[in-house]
Chains A and B, each alone.
Chain A
């Protein structure tokens, strides 16, 4: 994969410069962008769909789509937000296609009370997240993992602002309840 810049220079170049090369069709520059962003993108999708293999497949789809439509990017500074929006759309398309159930169909409060964690079971944020509804999970992940404000989440997802606020508040409460079930184990581990 050839580039107009040598590999070392590409690795140290500012993201805007790398992005400008990638927009002009420089595949090595795009590869460098992937190297810089892949961990963040895969983590975002792992939070959304719990299954790491599926998350990686979706991340690959997002990056392929990004490569094919990079010319549509209006501003180099908006690359991260643009990629995030692609990821959200790809995940939602996957949900609509009904390819795999991503939400465990269990009521959070019932679960916390009726299913105490097994000995040795560890804190699993992704598992707790999978108990939330799809929209709740999306809003919670964008707020807590991406640090987005409610209005930014509303813009990115198309959900009304009031709905976003409600999802973040209710989702956080449910998540706290679910995660509390794991705390005794954490505490025991610290005692040992």
Chain B
């Protein structure tokens, strides 16, 4: 199939693409361009950072409850060994 276009439809599109008044559109855009982009970027970064910190805390709190029984035993033994070693060091 070639790229040939229907001339009737081409005419419809050409008629629809009229120049549009630009004053209001242009003024609105320039107003948005002059807004301090830094503030919105900074506030976005603070929000994203806060969310990440809260997510990290939630994961940290929830993680021990998700451990398997064998891992809990291993951690208990390691903690006991560490406590004994620390006690012996301080004695």
A residues with a Cβ closer than 8 A to B are: 1, 27, 30-31, 34-35, 38-40, 42-43, 47, 56, 59-60, 63-64, 67-68, 123, 125-126, 141, 143-145, 149-150, 165, 169, 172, 175-176, 179
Q: Tell which of B19-27, B46-54, B60-68, B75-83 binds the partner.
A: B19-27
Q: Contact between A42 and B3 (Cβ–Cβ < 8 Å)?
A: no
Q: Contact between B9 and A176 (Cβ–Cβ < 8 Å)?
A: yes
* Complex contacts, B58 vs chain A, CB 8 Å: none
* Complex contacts, B19 vs chain A, CB 8 Å: 39
Nearest CB in chain A: distance from B23 CB, A: 10
Chain B interfacial residues counted at CB < 8 A: 25
Pick the contact of B26 from A34, A64, A176 — CB < 8 Å?
A: A34
Nearest CB in chain B: distance from A23 CB, A: 15
Q: Contact between B17 and A145 (Cβ–Cβ < 8 Å)?
A: yes
Q: Contact between A64 and B32 (Cβ–Cβ < 8 Å)?
A: yes
Dominant secondary structure of chain B at its interface with chain A: helix
Beyond the given A43-B16, A125-B15, A176-B8, please list 20 additional residue pairs across the A-B interface where CB-CB is below 8 A: A1-B34, A27-B34, A30-B33, A31-B33, A34-B26, A34-B30, A39-B19, A39-B20, A43-B17, A60-B32, A64-B29, A123-B12, A125-B16, A126-B16, A144-B13, A145-B13, A150-B3, A172-B6, A172-B9, A179-B12
* Complex contacts, A34 vs chain B, CB 8 Å: 26, 29-30
* Complex contacts, A150 vs chain B, CB 8 Å: 3
Nearest CB in chain B: distance from A81 CB, A: 17
A67 to B30 Cα, complex, angstroms? 11
Q: Does B59 contact A (CB under 8 A)?
A: no
Pick the contact of A59 from B12, B16, B25, B34 — CB < 8 Å?
A: B25
Closest to A37 in B: B22
Dominant secondary structure of chain A at its interface with chain B: helix
Q: Contact between B29 and A42 (Cβ–Cβ < 8 Å)?
A: no
A42 to B21 Cα, complex, angstroms? 10
A165 to B1 Cα, complex, angstroms? 7
Q: Contact between B16 and A60 (Cβ–Cβ < 8 Å)?
A: no
Of B1, B5, B16, B30, the most chain A CB neighbours within 10 A belong to B16
Q: Does B87 contact A (CB under 8 A)?
A: no
A123 to B8 Cα, complex, angstroms? 13
Q: Contact between A60 and B26 (Cβ–Cβ < 8 Å)?
A: no
Q: Contact between B22 and A35 (Cβ–Cβ < 8 Å)?
A: yes
Q: Contact between B1 and A144 (Cβ–Cβ < 8 Å)?
A: no
* Complex contacts, B90 vs chain A, CB 8 Å: none
Nearest CB in chain A: distance from B33 CB, A: 6
* Complex contacts, B9 vs chain A, CB 8 Å: 144, 172, 175-176, 179
A59 to B28 Cα, complex, angstroms? 11
